[in-house]
Amino acid sequence: MLSRFNDKAQRAIALAESLAFDFGHNSVGTEHLLLALLKIKDAKIKIILESYHVTANLFQEELIELFGQKQTQPFYMEYTLAMKTLIETAILYGKKRNEDRVSIDTLSICLLEMEENIALEMLKKANVPIKKVVEELKKQAKKQSELDGLPDLINLNAKALKNPPILIEREKELNLLIEALLRKQKPNAILIGEPGVGKTAIVEYLAHLLNIGHVPDELKEKTIYEIDISGIIAGTKYRGEFEDKLKKIIKKVKEDENALLFIDEIHNIIGAGGAEGAIDASNILKPYLSKGEIGCIGATTYDEYVKIFEKEKALERRFQVVKIEEPTLTQTLHILQGIKNQFETFHHLTISDEILKKIVNYCDLYVCDRYFPDKAIDVLDIASVRAKNKKQTQLEEKNIIDVIEDLFKVKIEKGNKAQVLKKSLNQILIGQNQAINTIIEQISYIEMGINDENRPLGVFLFVGPTGVGKTETAKQIALNYFGNKEKYIKLDMSEYSEPSSVTKLIGSPPGYVGYERQSLLVDHVRKNPHSVVVLDEVEKAHRDVLDIFLSVFDEGYFYESSKKKVDFKNTIVIMTSNLGFNEKMFHKNKIGYVDNQVTQDDIQSVVKNHFRPEFLNRIDCIVYFNLLDQNTCTQLAKDYLQEYAKKAHYEFSSLDELAKEIAAQQEGKQYGARGLKRLAKKMLIAKMKETEANKIKSKSV
């Protein structure tokens, strides 16, 4: 029913409800409505009644004296019979006046023309000539604002009245927005944040605050209109038609001193409508924005701001930036708790706080390409739909898991991840028990949460000769801890051996080719914040490149060239190195290939001599991989022979002998498992050729 009233009339009714609530009254009556009308600056009834010495303060004192003021707010409020009658009468009277929506003046006239109500009695007691006031009101009554009739403007105040929004954990950003709008010059703000962090929600909540009057006095009469740029462009076929259409809207906004413009995806105004020989929307808006003739709120993402909006310096300087960061896990949980009742009512379900915690944690771990709180709210909503369709009365963890697995194509594994990883590594790595135990111990600490929240989950340095399983171990950690092989990226640090290689990590400086492009590492970590980052052969990286990772290991982030933060707090960083096991060292020292001939102390000494102390001090764990001994080489050779023989459908009886022969060769010992694999393939092919030749020879005989 209230949708039949225009935004100012709806605001008056909403303010009346708010006043009744503040006074602790159980019902909203005509007396609260009249007080609300007296508090609205440009209400005609306020101006007229003040000429009879009836002010908002005096009327409020009289109202409190009559009905009192309670310290506790009511649990439930309803309209009085007189208030209901007034609303119905105003709707009928508005039809007679051919109003599309009932105006605040029509509401005021109907209030004073009622036969009896408390507000009327209070005015009569103050010796106000009711008939004269009504006559004056009818003379001054005007139609609603022309802006409400424009199809390309959406009244957010009216929208907020129909569905009052909720805002949680955004008080700081909201205050910064209000401060920007209160400026004398350039009262414009631009909200910058990733998609789904709540930029539009903040603006909608501001519209709600304007409705109920919980804003500074300078903003109380403001109305926010969202402008639809694409709607304005639609249907403009000829040059100059778009400019005329937009200028007419801006002119009407300028004439209405209480109008604020909201432009979502504001970067789209740059170039919008700018056909050959015509100016675009941004150039039309610039003079109005700089002079403060209109107030404007914009919203865009970091990427679009840097790529498009920031380059238009003449436009960019007219806006005050308000950054909307992604809420933390705790803040997201508070947001879900705040909106929980709405979902419970809509879906007819009970939703526990424990389930909300699981939603936040699962989304944080498995939904990597979207942002809080949007992704958590979506999972909550869809999971509630599924639970409702299954005739459940309570939202369960299984509903959450099913939704995340189906929508985001991930597999959620429950249980002891460290033990699952240990089992997997024991099957794959042979002769590396000490390394496996060290890794599992550190992964257990991560799983228990015994790590610094402001650093990566873990920073490892794997040291060992080539082909012993360092890279494969990193892949298994990605698969078993993060649940997906795609949660893995490997950087060959030999490609980062020059000082200029830093740009491959953080991007090119402004003005250089490739400035707008993200590096491979940044792109991966943004899309997969929970993943394994492997720095292969880290000893080959330049010192300047390692300095970037010093910040990552210590603080959990670095800044790319565009000043955007790249967060590594949910990654496991694994560096691999062959230090101490290179070919020259073997040749120089004439060391054999048995474990106990190269001691861990020898390798530690080489590692300490190569890396700076501040670099080593930021590593959680250095894992030493053993050289492959004769028995390990034999077992690996046997496994590879069986694998290739199965693929080739070949059977032979001399498997053990051939495996020992492979293990005894120099290539397998020097190049580890990869060398053994090549030898196994080579010797199996030779064996197959020999068998085939013998068959042919026997047939010829």
Contact between 49 and 108 under an 8 Å Cβ cutoff? The reply is no
Tell me if domain 148-323 and domain 417-624 are identical in fold: yes
Q: Which residues contact 32 (CB under 8 A, 6 or more apart)?
A: 16, 17, 19, 20, 23, 25, 63
- The predicted pLDDT at position 467 comes to 80
Region for residue 117 given its phi and psi (left: phi exceeds 0; alpha: psi -120 to 50; beta: otherwise):
beta
- The predicted pLDDT at position 157 comes to 76
Q: How far is CA 351 from the centre of its chain?
A: 23
- The predicted pLDDT at position 653 comes to 67
The CATH class, in words, for 148-323 is alpha beta
**Cα 439 to Cα 433: distance, rounded to the nearest angstrom:** 10
- The predicted pLDDT at position 596 comes to 43
- The predicted pLDDT at position 152 comes to 60
Q: Which residues contact 381 (CB under 8 A, 6 or more apart)?
A: 343
pTM reported for the whole predicted model: 0.62
Compute the half-sphere exposure of residue 338: CA atoms within 13 Å on the CB side of its CA.
13
- The predicted pLDDT at position 375 comes to 95
- 508 by Cβ neighbours in 10 Å (0-12 / 13-18 / 19+) ranks as middle
- The predicted pLDDT at position 190 comes to 96
> What is the chain's percent helix, strand, coil content, to nearest 5?
60, 10, 30
- The predicted pLDDT at position 591 comes to 40
**Cα 155 to Cα 150: distance, rounded to the nearest angstrom:** 10
Q: In sequence order, what DSSP letters do the residues of 599-649 get, joined into one string?
A: -HHHHHHHHHHHS-HHHHTT-SEEEEPPPP-HHHHHHHHHHHHHHHHHHHT
Spans in the chain with pLDDT lower than 70 = 140-152, 161-162, 235, 237-239, 272-279, 413-415, 510-516, 582-598, 652-653, 666-672, 697-701
**Cα 579 to Cα 577: distance, rounded to the nearest angstrom:** 6
pLDDT digit string, tens, across residues 29-65: 999 999 999 998 778 888 889 888 899 999 999 999 8
Tokens for 607, please give them.
């590692």
How, if at all, do strands 153-155 and 295-300 pair?
unpaired
Fold for domain 2-144? Double Clp-N motif (1.10.1780)
Q: In sequence order, what DSSP letters do the residues of 392-427 get, joined into one string?
A: -SB--HHHHHHHHHHHH------S-HHHHHHHHHHH
The CATH class, in words, for 417-624 is alpha beta
Cβ of 626: how many Cβ atoms within 10 Å? 20
Tokens 């609260």, residue? 32
- The predicted pLDDT at position 314 comes to 83
Tokens for 345, please give them.
């009512």
The structural domains of the chain, with segments of one domain joined by +, span 2-144, 148-323, 329-406, 417-624, 630-700
Q: In sequence order, what DSSP letters do the residues of 245-287 get, joined into one string?
A: HHHHHHHHHHHSTTEEEEEETGGGGTTTT--TT---HHHHHHH
Quick check: helix, strand or coil at residue 79? strand
- The predicted pLDDT at position 511 comes to 63
Tokens 């111990």, residue? 441
- 451 by Cβ neighbours in 10 Å (0-12 / 13-18 / 19+) ranks as middle
Fold for domain 329-406? Helicase, Ruva Protein; domain 3 (1.10.8)
